Amino acid sequence: MAEVIHEIERIRLAARISQAEISLTLGVTQGHYSKVINGKAELSLKLLRTAEQYSTTVAAG
């Protein structure tokens, strides 16, 4: 599961998207997103599914 969120973070950084912007897309607060990235919060199933969809959409172009 962690691989998905770290892939999202890699894409976010490469695209120069802020944590606030990606958080809106994923439907979580910026604070929660930051905690998940830093391993201080669990990755919820809802966030995982949304992140997987986002990752697939971005990878497809």
DSSP assignment string, the chain = -HHHHHHHHHHHHHTT--HHHHHHHHTS-HHHHHHHHTTSS---HHHHHHHHHHHHHHHH-
Domain 2-51 fold is: 434 Repressor (Amino-terminal Domain) (1.10.260)
Model confidence at 10: pLDDT above 80: yes
Give dist(CA 14, CA 4) in Å, integer.
15
**pTM check: above 0.95:** no
Domain spans of the chain? Answer: 2-51
For residue range 13-40, what is the model confidence (pLDDT) as tens digits?
A: 998 999 999 888 888 899 999 999 998 9
Q: Is the pLDDT of residue 1 over 70?
A: no
